[in-house]
Every structure is written in structure tokens, then in C-alpha cells.
Structure 1
Amino acid sequence: MEEELRNLVKVCISVLISISYCYYISSKIPKGFVRLLSLLPIFIIFLLIPLFFSSLHFCAISAFFLTWLANFKLLLFAFDQEPLSPLPSSFSRFLCLTCFPIKTKQNPSSNRIYNKPKWVLAFKVILFSSLLHLYGKNYHNTLPRLAFLSIFTIHVYIELEFILVLVGAFLSTLLGCEIEPVFNEPYLATSFQDFWSRRWNRMVPSVLRPTVHIPVQRFTARLIVSNLGSHLFLSVAWSCNLSGDSCKEDAVVSIATSSGLAPCCCGVYVRYVCLVVCPSTTEI
């Protein structure tokens, strides 16, 4: 345990130095690829930090806080995107927003980080204590596999919620702002989409959306439009060469629709294709 505490102190110092570098040096570099290169050593450091711990809890928490969320937030910071842009006015706020799974509320309504009924919290505390007693007596070894997995799932959820609620409450007091709750009663989810995107660990989708989902969506959209556009250009040019006539808008619309182009995009493509392939047309 003493070795783990020494490693924890080393990790905290390393993280403090790394975030100081990001705040005072990398933030002065113009956004884009150059700033991304300046952050590359920090990405590597945060990637290796969980390897300093032998404890499962320390390793898992550091991997979630630093290796995953902090690296993704710094990746967005390299291109001047939220949540670290615009640059926070104080280093302490920048440090908290980078290293912890928190997000400040845009329209604060209450100063309480845990606004559920008190009996819900009391029930979770009693349930968690019962699970610890179960583990201490090794009763879980005699349970059926499905029952054990169910109990372990409840244990993981309650422990994560306790940790993140305590962290959020402390940082909310420290920063003087309201923090959005990380969990939103995941046991009431009506579908997998509702569970992953709105109820379970909501900080993860809020970071993955701008770093993974939106770039992939834009790339695939450009790729699809480019392929459809190339097919449309070739089809119109071939039709015009065969017929010897100038491009007609209704003919181009027919080709665009048969190519699978969405109706809302046809108008733009029709005019562009006709002007490029058949610039002599006067009907457009």
C-alpha cells in the first residue's frame, strides 16, 4: 500500500506538470496540427500512467480519468473545441475540466450535485454495504454465475456513482459552479440507445461525439457525396455527348435521383453539374 501511495504522489506531480505545460505553453501555439504535435508527449504520458499502479481501482480510475477522457479533451483542445475552449480564465479550472469527468451546467438550476430523494441515496448505501459484506464472507463464490454477474454489475454501478458524485460535489464547491450529474438513473433506460447516450456515464458520449462520431459522419458524408457526384458527372456528360443536345434540368434531376442523391441536394447538384458539363445551357 505504501508503494501505491508513493506512485500516486508521483502520478499527481506528473499530471500537474503536464497540465501546466498544456495551459501555459500549448495554449499559446496556434490551433491545428502544430498544437496537436505539441500535445503528443502529454498523450503518451497519460497513456502510460495506469501502468504505474498495481491496484485495480487506481489503475481503472486513472485509465478512465486520464488515458481516456483527458486525452480526448486535449485532442479537442488542439483544434480549439469545447470543453477546454475558450481557454478557462484560471489554471485550477483548466486542470479540473481536463482531468476529471465533469461538465459545467450552462443553465444552473440548483447548487446540489445529488438532487435525488434522500431515501434513494440511503438505499444505495445499504445495498453497497450488503455487497461488501457478501464479498467479505466469500458468499459470492457459492452463487450461480448469472446471479454473481448481476450482483457485480450493481456493485460497479453504485461504486462508480459514489466516486463520481463525490468528485463532482468537491469540484462544484471548489470551482463555484454547478456540475452536470454523470448518471441519470440508468436502470430506467428504455433502450440501449437511451442507456448509452442519455443515462449511463453521460460524460463519455459528450466527449466521443465531437472526437469520433461527428468527424466520421462528416468524412463518410463527403465520401458518399463525392462518389455520387462523380457518377452524376459521368452520366450527364455521357448523355449529352450521345444526344448532342445541351443539358436539360429535368434530365439531370432524373439522373441524380436514379443515382440515389437525396431530393434536398438535387437542386444544388443539378445547377452545378449543368454549368460545368454543359456551360452553354441558358435554362439554368
Structure 2
Amino acid sequence: MDIYQQSLLHRLIQLHALILAAVAYCVVVVRPRRPGLPRLLASVPAFVVFSTSPFFVKDSAILSSGIGLNIMWVANFKLLAYSGGRGALSHPGVRNGLQWAAFLVLPFFPAKSNRAAAKTSTSSVVLGLLLKLGVWLGLTALLVGVEGLSPLARHLCYAVHFWMFVSLLLDGPLPLAGHLLGHHIPLQPAMDAPFAATSLREFWGRRYNQIVSATLQETVYKPILEGRWVSSKAAATATATASVVVAEAATERDADRVSPAPAGPAEADGGNVAVRAGPPAAEARAPAAPTVAEGKEEKGGAARRRTPVAAAVVGLATSFLVSGVMHEICLWFSCGGRLEGSYRMMGFFLLQPLLIAAQEAAVAVAARVVPERIRVSAAATLLQTALTLVLVLGSAEWFWGSMETCDAEKRGLAEVDGAMRWLVEQARASGLLAL
């Protein structure tokens, strides 16, 4: 092990210790706080740790990208959503601090009610990960070893390579899910056959990188749609909890007036009652509040809640804007700590809502002039899928172009290729390989 490898290992150990300390702080200090400003302010130290974590390994394109995605982005946004009583950390199935910590620091997200859950059995997950790893390493060898690939072929390889990389990062911890979470919380898969999407909205909203999509929905889209940061359900729960606690304290004081027992804490403090806030126990006491899911509000009977079109458009555009900003930050690390400068990657994400609107307008026009039997045919579905992939891959030229400007893709490929060669050398030295 050379000096650089020793330094990298030392920094990784320091980083993991710092992240574990931040997670422990969140479990003890942040988790019991009330939703809103108290919880948000208590989260600031963890935000700082998570946001600076890629700096420990900024000289590595692969490690800084992976830590940037999992910790700087996903963990930060989960904690941010939790400050408003939203997202994975506010899921009612989270039963203890260990499960809460696992949801915070690992790329787990509860599956949506109308989505297929991820497979968490060890054998199926490991088999899938090995298959993705094989494709990823094979494409690495192809991109490093074969010169003269056309831009189209190279960018198609980049697309699959990036897909496998993100899948490995986000699905890699799935074998731990059963041990840490049990089997009572179905999890969202990171990828759900993105090549089968029949529209851009389906591609980004239901197929590709669903963990990041879910965090953006909870921190950007839903707050804009609702016009408030603290979710209505969390606010109702907190209000109901406060009422229950105050009522219980009043009952205890009334009982103490006719009881020979000594005065309780409330009387000793002059009658001041502390409102308790915290996850499971408080929510269990609160009366059932109206729940909103997938555009419906349940209040006795199910009544459809209208979503303002303007708010939905602003929420969608802002979600892509935030995604573009976060990708530019990750690109800064991949470029070795320097700004790429063209902002084409940002442009790629800002273009998506426009393409979604154009595609949906075209579909609406087709619905008026094309007979239904043709629109629902297999040929029409295949055409929609092909058009969606063309739009994604065509606009992705801005995405790949920004990476190629600063040679981020070459740095990443060289790191993976170097790691593969080092492993082969170690295997030969230990006699595992006879060649």
C-alpha cells in the first residue's frame, strides 16, 4: 500500500467516524424535536457535516461522487424533509432510533403505495448487484481500452455505465434492509426499468433514480404544492398531541386536589406544562388526521383534492432546478474541485420540464385525432418508449458534454480501471490467479 492509499484510507476512516457521530447526534437531538423551526435549527450541525463530507475524498472522482450522492444529497435532503414532518424519516413504520438512523444515512426510502417494492432478499439482491457490477466493469474496460468510439456510441456507453453506477450506490445496501428495518416497511427500488418509460414524466417520476426523485418530491415539490413547509399532517399531529398532553396534565392536577398524594411535577413548577414532541408515542395518541396521498384527501369519504396547475408547474420546474444545482455541485467534485463553467449540466435539467410539457401537449393532441384502439396498441406504446428515450438521450448531450470538458469521465474511468488492475495484481501475488 503506497502513501496515497494510506492517506485515502485514513481519511475514509475519519469521514465515517464523523458521519456516525453526526447520525448519533441526529438520533438524540434532532429526532425528538417538533417539526418546523426547532427541528430545522437542531439539524444545522448535521447539515454541515453531510455537506462537507465529499471534501475528504475530493481527489477521487468516484468516491467524491458516491459520497456526494449518498450523504451530501440524499441524507441532507431526508433530514431537511424531516424538519417539515415529511419524507422517509417521518414514516410511521419507523419504530426506533436504529431504524431512523438507517433511513437517514443509507439510501432507503419507503415504497409508494402504488409502486412495486424493491426485492430485499439477500440472494436476489446480491445476484442483481453482481450482474450490474459485471456490466459496469465491462463497460469500463470497453471505454478505457477501445479507442475511436464514435460520440454516439461513447455516450450510449456512458448512459448505461452511469445507470449501473447509480444503481450500485443506491441498491448496494439493500441486503442490510431486512436486518436493520425488518420486513414491515417495503422499500422503493432505485431504478425501475427506466428503458421502459413511455413518457418523460414517467421516466423521471417513476423509473429513474427513484431515491433522489422521492427526496426532491418531499423537499421541493410537495411544500410548493401545499404552500407550507411543515406538512399539514405533521402540524395536525403536533396540535393534537399538545391538546392531549395539556388535557392529561389538567386531569392530573384535578386528581391531585382530592388525592392525599404529594404534589406532582406540574404543581411544583407552578402549573407550567411542557408540551412533549416526538415521533411514535406522540403520533400514537393523536386522533386520526386527514391524510393526503397521490392527490386524494381522505376525510370520511374519499374526495379528490384539486392540485393548482400553476403550483404544480412551479413545483416541477423548481425540482429540476434543484436537481441541476446538486448535479453541478457533484460535477465540481468530479472535476477535481474546479468549476466546469459552461453550466450545460444545469441546462440539461432545466430543459426537462419544457420537454415534458411539449410531449404531454403532443399526446393531448394525438388523443383527439388518433382512435383509441391505435393509441393503446403495442406499436403505439413502443413508439412512445422510443420517443422518450430519444428525448432523454438527445438532451443528455449537454450532460455528457459538461463532464467531458473537465475530463471527469476520464478520471472516473481511470480510477475504476486502476482499482481493477490492482485487484488482479493482488490476486496473482496471493496465488489466486495462475496466469
Give the TM-score of the pair, scaled to structure 2.
0.45
SS at match of 1:81: coil
Please say if 1:102 is aligned against 2:108.
yes
Change (3 A) 1:175 1:29: closer
Q: CA deviation at 1:126?
A: 5.2
Q: CA deviation at 1:38?
A: 1.3
Q: 2:66, 2:169 within 8 Å by CA — same for their partners in 1?
A: no
In structure 2, runs of 5+ residues without a counterpart are 229-305, 307-435
Change (3 A) 1:173 1:104: farther
Aligned partners of 1:63 and 1:109: how far apart in 2? Answer: 23
2:10 is matched by which residue type in structure 1? R
Aligned partners of 1:16 and 1:122: how far apart in 2? Answer: 28
Change (3 A) 1:80 1:129: closer
Aligned partners of 1:125 and 1:215: how far apart in 2? Answer: 37
Q: CA deviation at 1:190?
A: 1.3
Q: Tell me what 1:58 maps to.
A: 63
Q: CA deviation at 1:111?
A: 4.9
Please say if 1:216 is aligned against 2:224.
yes
Q: 1:32, 1:79 within 8 Å by CA — same for their partners in 2?
A: yes
Change (3 A) 1:113 1:103: farther
Change (3 A) 1:193 1:6: same
Aligned partners of 1:207 and 1:109: how far apart in 2? Answer: 17
Q: Tell me what 1:25 maps to.
A: 29
Q: CA deviation at 1:86?
A: 5.4
Q: Tell me what 1:83 maps to.
A: 88
Aligned partners of 1:66 and 1:13: how far apart in 2? Answer: 14
Q: CA deviation at 1:12?
A: 0.9
Q: CA deviation at 1:113?
A: 7.1
Q: Tell me what 1:72 maps to.
A: 77
Q: CA deviation at 1:200?
A: 0.4
Q: CA deviation at 1:122?
A: 7.9
Aligned partners of 1:168 and 1:127: how far apart in 2? Answer: 19
Identify which of 31, 34, 38 aligns with 2:42.
38
The higher radius of gyration belongs to: 1
Q: Identity percentage over the alignment?
A: 24
Q: CA deviation at 1:74?
A: 0.8
Runs of 4+, deviation exceeding 4 Å: 105-111, 113-116, 120-126
1:179 is matched by which residue type in structure 2? L
SS at match of 2:102: helix
What number of residue pairs does the alignment pair up?
217
SS at match of 2:89: coil
Aligned partners of 2:177 and 2:73: how far apart in 1? Answer: 20
SS at match of 1:29: coil
2:80 is matched by which residue type in structure 1? L
Q: CA deviation at 1:50?
A: 0.7
Give the aligned CA root-mean-square deviation in angstroms: 2.9
1:115-134 map, 5 Å: 127-134=135-142
Q: 1:183, 1:201 within 8 Å by CA — same for their partners in 2?
A: yes
Change (3 A) 1:41 1:149: same
Q: CA deviation at 1:197?
A: 0.5
Deviations 1:46-90 (A, max 9, x none): 111111102111111111111111111111222222311258333
Change (3 A) 1:10 1:188: same
2:34 is matched by which residue type in structure 1? P
Q: Tell me what 2:200 maps to.
A: 192
Aligned partners of 1:161 and 1:46: how far apart in 2? Answer: 21
Q: CA deviation at 1:162?
A: 3.0
Q: CA deviation at 1:16?
A: 0.9
1:246-261 map, 5 Å: none
Aligned partners of 2:20 and 2:132: how far apart in 1? Answer: 34
Return 142-151 or 120-129, whichever deviates more: 120-129
In structure 1, runs of 5+ residues without a counterpart are 221-263, 265-284
Deviations 1:98-133 (A, max 9, x none): 1122124478796537869x8x88875654343232
Q: 2:81, 2:219 within 8 Å by CA — same for their partners in 1?
A: yes
Q: Tell me what 1:49 maps to.
A: 53
Aligned partners of 2:67 and 2:87: how far apart in 1? Answer: 22
Change (3 A) 1:72 1:130: closer
Q: 2:132, 2:168 within 8 Å by CA — same for their partners in 1?
A: no
Aligned partners of 2:34 and 2:133: how far apart in 1? Answer: 48
1:112 is matched by which residue type in structure 2? S
SS at match of 1:25: helix
